[in-house]
Amino acid sequence: MSTSATSTAPSVAPMPSVSPRDLAPGVIGMALVGSSVTVSRSLVGAPLFASQAVRYAAAALILIALARVAGVPLLRPRGREWLWLAGIAGTGLVLFNVAVVRGVAHAEPAVIAVAVASVPILLGLVGPLLEGGRPSRRVLLAAPVVVAGAVLVEGTGRTDAAGVGWAALALACEAGFTLLAVPVLGRHGAWGVSVHAVWLGAVMLAGLAVFTQRPVSGTVPGLASGPAAFVAGLGSLTAGQWAAVGYLAVLVTAVAFLLWYRTVAAVGSGRAGLLTGVAPLAAAGAGMLGGGSAPGPAVWLGLAVVIAGLALGLRGGDARA
């Protein structure tokens, strides 16, 4: 008796198309993050840790109040969840903002914005692995396109060696902000991850402000100076700097965090990472509104390239790599 067998390779389900409703929160969140680069320039001369501690403390109170009004339960972290959430706070909040504020003192905002926009490559590679899947071919192809468009929009900008270092740190921290949230988004959701990361970040920054900042002129920097330095640092903020802190607390923290984590939970970190290409577009727009020059041909070309990259990476029908 003769038999015939047909061997077929195991099929891999294509990636479903994503809904604009799922992408819109991430787009808005990244636009707010992009605008923060220009706003942060006003905080270059401010006591860094004290101002950022107030920012995140205010954002935490806002998020908790909104969660209560919306009837969203906030679960208490347990076990290793504390480590993931502390990692988000330590990298995505504390170190990232140190890198941005210190970076714009050595480099033009374009340098920092382009560094942040380079994160799709990291998220496209590492994110799906943390989520139990494999990287998408289409996302991996689209990520360099989005990054190239971001570079065209912002240009390379002027910087020095320190600026390059701060930009690299901002890139790593921006990736950590998303990747470290993957293991805890399932249980805590966008609300829980945002609230816990923000209040932990506020505590970390307040501790740094108390033990490291010395706003009194003529003293040796880096020595512990106690709570008085924290209070004195806040008292030295100008009206414009307080306005910047308020903008960062409400829009770039409370609002943007919720929007971003909602999109990450809905479409995955790999695809969501492509939306970071929106940040340099927003940075360019914010710079123009702040008195900068009108966009040139390279900016418009970069805009088209970013849109093409997003269209390539976000449509469905793609088998996993």
* φ, ψ (nearest 5 deg) of residue 5: -125, 135
Contact assessment for residue 170 and residue 99, using Cβ atoms and an 8 Å cutoff: yes
pLDDT at 181: 93
Q: Which of 89-93, 120-124, 268-272, 281-285 has the lowest mean pLDDT?
A: 281-285
pLDDT at 188: 95
pLDDT band, very low/low/confident/very high, at 321 (cuts 50, 70, 90): very low
pTM: 0.78
Region at 213 (left for phi over 0; alpha for psi -120 to 50; beta for the rest): beta
Q: What angle do CA 258, 169, 182 make, to 5 degrees?
A: 35
- What distance in Å separates the CA atoms of residue 205 and residue 52, rounded to the nearest whole number? 7
| Range of 9-18, 65-74, 156-165, 263-272 with top mean pLDDT | 65-74
pLDDT at 25: 92
Task: Check residues 147 and 219 and name the one with the higher pLDDT.
Answer: 147
pLDDT for 51 beyond 70: yes
Task: Check residues 188 and 100 and name the one with the higher pLDDT.
Answer: 188
Contact assessment for residue 315 and residue 300, using Cβ atoms and an 8 Å cutoff: no
Half-sphere exposure of 231 (CA within 13 A, CB side): 3
C-alpha distances (whole Å) from 49 to each of 109, 202, 242, 254 are: 20, 9, 14, 18
The string of pLDDT tens digits covering residues 103-157 is 877 877 667 777 777 788 888 888 888 888 888 888 888 888 888 887 787 666 6
Tell me the three-class secondary structure of 44-80, residue by residue.
CCCCHHHHHHHHHHHHHHHHHHHHHHHCCCCCCCCCC
- Return mean pLDDT, the chain: 81
- In terms of Cβ atoms closer than 10 Å to its own Cβ (0-12, 13-18, 19+), residue 32 is buried
Mean pLDDT of 85-111: 84
Task: Check residues 296 and 30 and name the one with the higher pLDDT.
Answer: 30
Both structure tokens of 236: 């030295």
Contact assessment for residue 277 and residue 309, using Cβ atoms and an 8 Å cutoff: yes
